[in-house]
Amino acid sequence: MLLIVCPYCGARPELEFSYGGEAHVARPKDPASVSDAEWADYLYARSNPKGVHAERWRHTHGCARFFNALRDTLSDRFLATYRIGEKRPDLA
Amino acid sequence: MQRFSALSLIRHSLGGHLGWQPQWRSPEPKAEYDAVIVGAGGHGLGAAYYLAKEHGMRNIAVLEKGWLGGGNTGRNTTIIRSNYLYDESAALYDHALKLWENLSQELNYNVMFSQRGVMMLAHTVHDVQIFKRHVHANRANGVDNEWLTAEQAKEFCPPLHIGPGLRYPVLGAALQRRGGTARDDAVAWGYARAADALGVDIIQNCEVTAIRRGTAGGVEAVETSRGAIRTRRVGVSAAGNTSVVMAMAGLRMPLESYPLQALVSEPVKPMFPCVVMSNTIHAYISQSDKGELVIGAGMDAYVSYSQHGALHIPAQTLEAICELFPMFRRMRMLRNWGGIVDVTPDRSPILAKTEVAGLYVNCGWGTGGFKATPGAAHLLAWTIARDEPHPINAPFTIERFRDGVVIDEAAAAAVSH
Ligand SMILES: Cc1cc2nc3c(=O)[nH]c(=O)nc-3n(C[C@H](O)[C@H](O)[C@H](O)COP(=O)(O)OP(=O)(O)OC[C@H]3O[C@@H](n4cnc5c(N)ncnc54)[C@H](O)[C@@H]3O)c2cc1C
Ligand SMILES: [Zn+2]
């Protein structure tokens, strides 16, 4: 089970959290003006990387708040967690 | 190729079984092939076999980053069935099921296909309605599926507990009698041996690291950990790694890769006659011919390439198994592992040409592509050889997401199988 550091509550077991998919996927501001291909890309295409993945989590059984995380999808290690609205941390 | 028969077994046993040759070669990669398949799982090996056998393409290679059959093919719980809801899916999965029925003969290799029946349990009114709808839809498509009462389900599978006190009572079941299991490794080995005999080069420990495209955009070559290989046709059949491989050609895919876990018990005498699946409480189980209980757990929640998952996932599955089959409560588990499955938004596969000339993809089989192995392989070969899809896989494009013609099998594929 993963140990996840909620930016509000600290380290808690995975069971307290829900996964929310890839982070920073922005909804097009004016859906009517984008092409079908762009809309499908927003809805369905995901980066799905082998390596660092920016993703959303929700501390459902804790503070109930959403936050973002950077995790290495090969080792499952969390590299950073950060609050919604904060910029993706630069790991370099 | 040394053919297997009762006679050859007897002859070789007299020689102490020392006279068998390796079942496939380990060739060095050539500088150029007419077609290259990425990924030596059952799907990729099978595609190479059908390309050689049915389309006369002999100068082809299957490139595998690890060992053949070491991906999801060798990690799955081998449930085979074709009772999917929509017409497109029923045609696709039943195409595979028909090929399974003759596969051992076709390959001269015992894939241990056993049509022992797949029974899916209904625990809620909603389950009952959905399964009955499936039964009717399947029958309209010529796919066998029948409704059983709880008592009939117990008769078909005596270890099943249907008595009072169950948190999720068994209200009935849908049974596909033509469904069953097969030996996963044997499928990979059987296709590898048969493809090799037709001249296909199977190159293991050869990871594809880049796909080179020419000025006109089409595929020209692949770079690998064993050097560059020129080719104008690349078929990607890399399961959980598909997004990574397709990104090498500059394509973004509607896929996410998740760990899916399974586990087996210590081997015991034959006592479990069929396959039982429960979508609602998420468990599925059968007994291998070796005697182990083969148990499928759920997907972990997050994208990962780690090939293992967290223990609370199989623990939850075992709770469901013990509730349904109280006689297994003292059974000990032997091994637990994970594979990385590539999941599409509509839980249906993608088996298609791509916008890149010469690049073909077979992916998105997610938690349930073992059952499709011969069918997917056959259709991928067709699509590569003719540069156009077979009518059966024509609906399974990438563009269906753009065009809104998804094939939503989330209900049929709700349990990871
Ligand atoms: C635990 C578990 C249980 C399952 N249970 C069932 C079930 O009961 N019934 C069912 O129908 N399905 C089941 N599945 C799904 C099924 O296993 C897969 O859909 C199917 O085996 C996919 O076959 P494949 O040949 O496409 O993939 P794989 O066997 O995974 O083959 C893909 C190959 O590509 C190789 N590869 C990847 N990237 C590269 C690269 N860059 N270069 C070279 N090679 C590369 C990999 O090493 C791998 O060997 C299960 C899966 C899992 C993990
Ligand atoms: Zn919190």
pLDDT in tens, B221-268: 999 999 999 999 999 999 999 999 999 999 999 999 999 999 999 999
Instruction: Give the number of other CB atoms < 10 A from CB of residue B11.
Output: 11
In which order are the strands placed within the sheet that holds B60-63?
A: B201-203, B60-63, B35-38, B234-236, B359-363, B350-353
Q: State in Å: Cα A60 to ligand 2 middle.
A: 8
Q: Which helix (H) or strand (E) holds A61?
A: none
pLDDT digits (tens, 9 = 90+) for B360-412: 999 999 999 999 999 999 999 999 999 999 999 999 999 999 999 999 998 66
Is B312's CB within 8 Å of A18's CB? Answer: no
Spatial CB neighbours of A29, under 8 Å, sequence gap ≥ 6 = none
- Whole-number Å distance between alpha carbons of B262 and B413: 16
- Contact (Cβ atoms closer than 8 angstroms) between residue B221 and residue B21: no
Residue A66 pairs in a beta bridge with A58
DSSP state at residue A73: T
Write down the pLDDT at residue B164.
84
The tally of CA atoms less than 13 A away on the side-chain side of residue A28 is: 14
Interface check A53 vs B, CB under 8 A: yes
Task: Reduce the secondary structure of chain B to three states and give it as a string.
Answer: CCCCCHHHHHHHHHCCCCCCCCCCCCCCCCCECCEEEECCCHHHHHHHHHHHHHHCCCCEEEECCCCCCCCHHHHCCCEECCCCCCHHHHHHHHHHHHHHCCHHHHHCCCCCCECCCEEEEECCHHHHHHHHHHHHHHHHCCCCCEEECHHHHHHHCCCCCCCCCCCCCCCEEEEECCCEECCHHHHHHHHHHHHHHCCCEEECCCCEEEEEECCCCCEEEEEECCEEEECCCEEECCHHHHHHHHHCCCCCCCCEEEEEEEEEECCCCCCCCCEEEECCCCEEEEECCCCCEEEEEEECCCCCCCCCCCCHHHHHHHHHHHHHCHHHCCCCEEEEEEEEEEECCCCCCEEEECCCCCEEEEECCCCCCHHHHHHHHHHHHHHHHHCCCCCCCCCCCCCHHHHCCCCCCCCCCCCCC
Tens digit of pLDDT for each residue in B258-312? 999 999 999 999 999 999 999 998 899 999 999 999 999 999 999 999 999 999 9
Sign of the C-alpha dihedral computed for residues B67, B64, B261 and B98 taken in this order:
negative
- Does pTM top 0.90 for this prediction? yes
Residue A15: predicted pLDDT: 96
On average, the pLDDT of chain B sits at 96
Q: Collapsing DSSP states into helix, strand and coil, what is residue A12?
A: strand
ipTM above 0.95, yes or no: yes
Residue B82 near ligand 1, beta carbon < 6 Å: no
Structure confidence by residue, pLDDT tens digits, B156-206: 999 999 988 888 999 999 999 999 999 999 999 999 999 999 999 999 999
Determine whether the interchain pair A47/B243 forms a contact, defined as Cβ–Cβ distance below 8 Å.
yes
Q: Residue B416's pLDDT is what?
A: 55
Nearest ligand to the C-alpha atom of residue A6: 2
Q: Cβ separation of A1 and B243 shorter than 8 Å?
A: no
Residue B252 has its nearest CB partner, among A36, A45, A73, at: A45
Q: What is the pLDDT of residues A26-55, one digit of tens each?
A: 999 999 999 999 999 999 999 999 999 999
Q: How far apart are CA B88 and CA B107, in angstroms?
A: 27
Q: Which residues of chain A lie closer than 8 angstroms to B401, CB-CB?
A: 40, 43-44
Chain B residue with the nearest C-alpha to that of A18:
B301
Distance B384 CA to ligand 2 centre (A): 50
Indicate whether residue B76 lines ligand 1 (CB < 6 A). Answer: yes
Q: Which residue has the tokens 């099943």?
A: B160
C-beta B73 within 6 A of ligand 1: yes
Ligand nearest to the CA of B317: 1
Closest partner CB to A2 (pick from B244, B257, B310): B310
Answer yes or no: is pLDDT of B414 > 70. no
d(CA B219, CA B213) in angstroms, rounded, equals 4
CB-nearest to A48 from B255, B301, B312 is B255
Higher pLDDT, A92 or B50: B50
Contact flag B252-A18 (C-beta cutoff 8 Å): no
Using the predicted structure, report yes or no on whether residue B319 has a pLDDT greater than 80. Answer: yes
B282 within ligand 1 shell (Cβ under 6 A): no
- Crossing angle of the two packed helices B42-55 and B373-386, in degrees rounded to 10: 50
* Contact between residue B282 and residue B231 where contact means Cβ atoms under 8 Å apart: no
Residue A91's pLDDT is 86
pLDDT band at B415 (very low <50, low <70, confident <90, very high): low
Nearest ligand to the CA atom of A67: 2
CA of A5 to the centre of ligand 2 (A): 8
Q: What is the pLDDT of residue B340?
A: 98
- How many CB atoms within 10 Å of residue B301? 19
Q: Does residue B417 carry a pLDDT above 80?
A: no
Interface residue A8 vs chain B (CB under 8 A): no
Asked whether the beta carbons of residue B244 and residue A49 sit closer than 8 angstroms, the reply is yes
Chain A residues within an 8 Å CB radius of B306: 73-76
pLDDT at A92: 76
**Cβ distance B377 to B50 under 8 Å?**
yes
Q: Probe ligand 1: pick from B43, B65, B72, max atoms within 8 Å of CB?
A: B72
Asked if residue B288 lies in contact with residue B275, where contact means CB atoms within 8 angstroms, the answer is no
Residue A44's nearest CA partner among B57, B214, B53, B348 is B348
pLDDT in tens, B46-75: 999 999 999 999 999 999 999 999 999 999
